[in-house]
Amino acid sequence: MAALTEEQSMIRDQAKSWVSEQAPVQKFRQMRDRGDPACIMPEAFSAMVEMGWTGIIVPEQYGGSDLGYLTFGLVLEETGRQLTASPLFASALVGATAVNLGGNDAQKQALLPKIVDGSEVVTLAVDEGARHDPNTVALKAEKAGAGYKLSGSKTFVLEGMAATTFVVAARTSGSAGDEAGITLLLVPASASGVSRNRLATADSRGYANVDFDGVEVGDDAVLGKVDAGGVLLGDILDRARAALSAEMLGTAGQAFDMTLDYLKTRVQFGQVIGSFQALGHRAADLFSQMELTRSCVEAALAAIDNGAPDAAQLCSLAKCKAGEFVHDMSNQLIQIHGGIGMTDEFDAGFYLKRARAVEATYGNQAFHRDRYATLLNF
């Protein structure tokens, strides 16, 4: 575990206490059962805004605290533990990152304070198929007068139903597969020609497919440089992957704690099942994998904060390792609990379903193994 500053320790402890008391997984169950179309817990998000979590990576001049990605990761680990459904990750981390890295001062002034106060939900729209592949961006943004006209579709947009602004990866030149020719554009969700369809997913979260039918935006919608958005997009995605890995670590960590508690209390053949050597060895192995995952995640977040040259490969390493662990741990959670683990009344299924969704978000294990090898010139 990384050596945390006093401030980081306080924020982590605050997050742990608040999430377990005010936004436990039972609140997530209630949200799912209500059938909320945006699939978020608005009261929880309002509290996060009040606690300043939405400003953790936003510079102070725009209303944030600029405490860095490792600090944000500590918070996301705790929200991941209780499956707290909110736009915190999609907007205050991914959306804020996009504006921070690519925005000019006018764009930052217009959006960042509103991300901090929760009045804007800014989310990234990048993928267009069933799998994550940012190199195959094909949605067209053609020059039209003093701006651009967008035509195409995006899939699996995080918090797509709650979003007020989309950061759209569009193709302004070239064709799908080309590294050059990608431009990032800010598109209001209320713009004429934008339509979104809610996706009913296993993890009961707010994904949407978003269509852009001749949507017009001005030149001031461009984030960064025209035709050169590929590098910017990669930087945004790496920060998103590292932070999502922290949330995945929390989800898997809670699954571990639930499993360990069961091993200590479930009695079979006159003794607790945790005393059986095979199950004890299994728990020890899972604990080792959890700590290895933590090392990968915190190394990636610290590399981003420090501007390390190997940050990209560390982000892929973290996402791959977190994906492997949350996959294995959620399986073990169900298996060790046996029949009760298969029931909807028990919370284990929520963790399995969430694990499968986040594994695939912004690249699954296979995607990041390949990318990691490529970055190391293999």
pLDDT value at position 163?
Answer: 97
The pLDDT of residue 337 is 86
Q: Is the pLDDT of residue 345 over 90?
A: no
Percent of the chain at pLDDT above 90? Answer: 88
pLDDT level of residue 357 (50, 70, 90 thresholds): very high
Torsion angle defined by CA atoms of residues 180, 184, 79 and 325, in that order, rounded to the nearest 10 degrees: -10
Over residues 294-314, the mean pLDDT reads 98
**pLDDT at residue 1, rounded to an integer:** 56
Mean pLDDT of 185-203: 97
CA-wise closest residue to 223 among 56, 106, 139, 136: 106
Q: What is the pLDDT of residues 41-93, one digit of tens each?
A: 999 999 999 999 999 999 999 999 999 999 999 999 999 999 999 999 999 99
pLDDT at site 2 = 62
Please, what sign has the CA dihedral across residues 314, 319, 320, 326? positive
**Helix/strand/coil (H/E/C) assignment for every residue in the chain:** CCCCCHHHHHHHHHHHHHHHHHCCHHHHHHHHHHCCCCCCCHHHHHHHHHHCHHHCCCCHHHCCCCCCHHHHHHHHHHHHHCCCCCCHHHHHHHHHHHHHHHCCHHHHHHHHHHHHCCCCCEEEECCCCCCCCHHHCCCEEEECCCEEEEEEEEEEEECCCCCCEEEEEEECCCCCCCCCCEEEEEEECCCCCEEEEECCCCCCCCEEEEEEEEEEEEHHHEECCCCEHHHHHHHHHHHHHHHHHHHHHHHHHHHHHHHHHHHHHCEECCEEHHHCHHHHHHHHHHHHHHHHHHHHHHHHHHHHHHCCCCHHHHHHHHHHHHHHHHHHHHHHHHHHHHHHHHCCCCCHHHHHHHHHHHHHCCCCHHHHHHHHHHHCCC
- pLDDT at site 158: 98
Rounded Cα distance, 220 and 207, in Å: 27
Q: How confident is the model at residue 35, as a pLDDT?
A: 87
The whole-number pLDDT of residue 269 equals: 79
Name the CA radius of gyration of the chain, rounded.
Answer: 21
Domains, the chain, ranges and CATH?
6-120 (1.10.540.10), 123-227 (2.40.110.10), 230-375 (1.20.140.10)
Q: Over the stretch 119-139, which tens digit does the pLDDT of each residue have?
A: 999 999 999 999 999 999 999
Q: What is the structure's pLDDT at 36?
A: 84
Give the pLDDT of residue 23.
96
310, amino acid identity: D
Least confident of 36-45, 123-132, 292-301, 354-363: 36-45
Q: What is the pTM of this model?
A: 0.96
Q: Dump pLDDT digits (tens) for 152-182.
A: 999 999 999 999 999 999 999 999 888 899 9
pLDDT classification of 338: cutoffs 50, 70, 90: confident
Task: Look at residue 223 in the predicted model and tell me its pLDDT.
Answer: 98
Would you state the pLDDT for residue 196? Answer: 97
Mean pLDDT computed over 313-320 = 98
pLDDT in tens, 253-274: 999 999 999 788 877 778 877 7
pLDDT digits (tens, 9 = 90+) for 2-52: 689 999 999 999 999 999 999 999 999 999 999 888 899 999 999 999 999
Query: For position 208, what pLDDT does the model report?
Result: 97
Residue range 203-245, pLDDT digits in tens: 999 999 999 999 999 999 999 999 999 999 999 999 999 999 9
